[in-house]
């Protein structure tokens, strides 16, 4: 393009030959990169990582994201160059066809690299012993990829696939946190809901099927521990996720699940007892406004 703008066409064939040689070499290097990702040994890559580092984005993830960003920058320059009209000459149809074929190949190769990198991230996570820590590792790595890709505008369709996997892991983590900190309450509410549903279908009294003692213990325990548990969940979110903003969004999702669980608890108690005949333990039920107030306090402290 520079030579054509300066009306020096004599170097066209030479420069095209140089371009073909370099592009061929780049294709070979990137193909070897894909092969290395597919053949990488996750055990060796995770062997000397400390427990804290194992939960944070792996260096392979950042290297791949930076490489993909650099390739996208090169591709974008080539696209802009192709779209810039040249003075004193024009590209032949054969050259345009070659350029389009190269771009399609480059995109296909980048998608192949992305698939290989995502596969390696999953295999790396399998070296981590617990499901909870594997989830944290995957969330941190997917989040890093998305941040770099969005900043550099790399593979928009690839970002959609990564976002889907990220949201799946976040949803699992929120459910796991609820089970971890409020498992007793969750089990009691589920048992009571199922019992109420069965008793309604059979026309029997709900209290005959509901484990009232389990429900009472869960309500009393929740009333005594809920503030402490919220603080622990906040501390765990800060410690687990390298991206603070992402960690807080995940915490908000977990707290939303808690509010929904608390609402279900009130509905269960309301289905068992009328207001005048509430037992003493049921009168200890926290109002939803108290939990909302504590969540707002946590949010202001961030």
Residue with token string 């699940």: 257
- State whether 105 and 209 are in the same domain: no
Which two structure tokens, joined as six digits, stand for 153? 């505008």
Residue 186 domain flag: yes
Number of domains in the chain: 2
Question: 130 in helix, strand or coil?
Answer: coil
Residue 161 domain flag: no
- State whether 247 and 289 are in the same domain: yes
Q: Taking phi first (over 0 means left), then psi (-120 to 50 degrees means alpha), and beta for anything else, what does residue 88 get? A: left
What is the Cα–Cα distance from 291 to 31, expressed in whole angstroms? 54
Q: Which residue has the higher pLDDT, 19 or 21?
A: 21
pTM, to two decimals: 0.83
- State whether 3 and 144 are in the same domain: yes
DSSP codes of every residue in 35-96: HHHHH--HHHHHTT--HHHHHSPPHHHHHHHHHHHHHHHHHHHHHHHHHSPPTT----HHHH
Q: What is the pLDDT of residue 162?
A: 94
What is the Cα–Cα distance from 61 to 68, expressed in whole angstroms? 11
Q: Which residue has the higher pLDDT, 295 or 215?
A: 215
* Average confidence (pLDDT) over 232-239: 92
Q: What is the pLDDT of residue 60?
A: 93
Query: Please, what is the angle between helix 212-240 and helix 156-202, to 10°?
Result: 170
How crowded is residue 241: how many other Cβ atoms within 10 Å of its Cβ?
A: 22
Q: Which residue has the higher pLDDT, 66 or 297?
A: 66
Which two structure tokens, joined as six digits, stand for 120? 């390696």
- State whether 118 and 218 are in the same domain: no
Q: Is residue 35 pLDDT above 80, yes or no?
A: yes
- State whether 20 and 142 are in the same domain: yes
Q: Which domain holds residue 201?
A: 172-299
Of 68-82, 92-106, 140-154, 231-245, the one with minimum mean pLDDT is 92-106
- State whether 112 and 196 are in the same domain: no
- State whether 147 and 184 are in the same domain: no
Is residue 98 very low, low, confident or very high in pLDDT (cuts 50, 70, 90)? low
- State whether 147 and 196 are in the same domain: no
Q: What is the pLDDT of residue 205?
A: 65
What's the whole-number average pLDDT of the chain?
Answer: 85
Q: Is residue 222 pLDDT above 70, yes or no?
A: yes
Residue 268 domain flag: yes
Q: What is the pLDDT of residue 206?
A: 64
Q: Taking phi first (over 0 means left), then psi (-120 to 50 degrees means alpha), and beta for anything else, what does residue 130 get? A: beta
* Average confidence (pLDDT) over 231-252: 92
- State whether 182 and 149 are in the same domain: no
- State whether 110 and 223 are in the same domain: no
- State whether 147 and 176 are in the same domain: no
- State whether 274 and 205 are in the same domain: yes
Residue 164 domain flag: no
What is the Cα–Cα distance from 189 to 174, expressed in whole angstroms? 18
* Average confidence (pLDDT) over 99-113: 73
Residue 158 domain flag: no
Residue 195 domain flag: yes
Residue 87 domain flag: no
Instruction: Return the CATH number at 182.
Output: 1.20.1280
Residue 250 domain flag: yes
Length of the chain: 302
């Amino acid at each position: 393009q520079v030579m054509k703008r300066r009306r020096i066409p004599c170097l066209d064939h030479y420069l095209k030959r140089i371009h073909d040689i370099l592009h061929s070499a780049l294709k070979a290097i990137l193909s070897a990169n894909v092969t290395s990702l597919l053949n990488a040994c996750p055990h060796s890559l995770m062997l000397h990582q400390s427990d804290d580092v194992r939960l944070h984005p792996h260096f392979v993830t950042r290297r791949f994201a930076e490489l993909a960003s650099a390739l996208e920058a090169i591709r974008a320059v080539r696209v802009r160059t192709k779209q810039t009209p040249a003075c004193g000459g024009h590209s032949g149809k054969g050259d345009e066809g070659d350029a389009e074929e190269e771009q399609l190949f480059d995109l296909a190769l980048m998608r192949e690299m992305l698939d290989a990198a995502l596969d390696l991230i999953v295999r790396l996570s399998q070296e981590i012993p617990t499901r909870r820590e594997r989830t944290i590792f995957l969330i941190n790595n997917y989040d890093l990829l998305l941040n770099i890709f969005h900043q550099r505008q790399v593979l928009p369709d690839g970002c959609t696939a990564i976002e889907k996997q990220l949201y799946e892991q976040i949803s699992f983590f929120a459910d796991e946190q609820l089970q971890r900190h409020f498992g007793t309450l969750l089990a009691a509410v589920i048992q009571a809901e199922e019992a109420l549903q069965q008793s309604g279908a059979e026309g029997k009294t709900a209290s005959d099927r509901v484990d009232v003692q389990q429900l009472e213990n869960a309500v009393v325990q929740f009333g005594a521990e809920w503030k402490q548990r919220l603080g622990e969940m906040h501390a765990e979110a800060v410690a687990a996720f390298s991206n603070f903003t992402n960690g807080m969004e995940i915490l908000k999702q977990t707290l939303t699940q808690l509010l929904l669980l608390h609402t279900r608890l009130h509905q269960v108690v309301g289905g068992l007892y009328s207001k005048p005949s509430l037992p003493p333990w049921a009168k200890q039920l926290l109002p939803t406004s108290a939990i909302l107030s504590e969540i707002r306090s946590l949010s202001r402290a961030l």
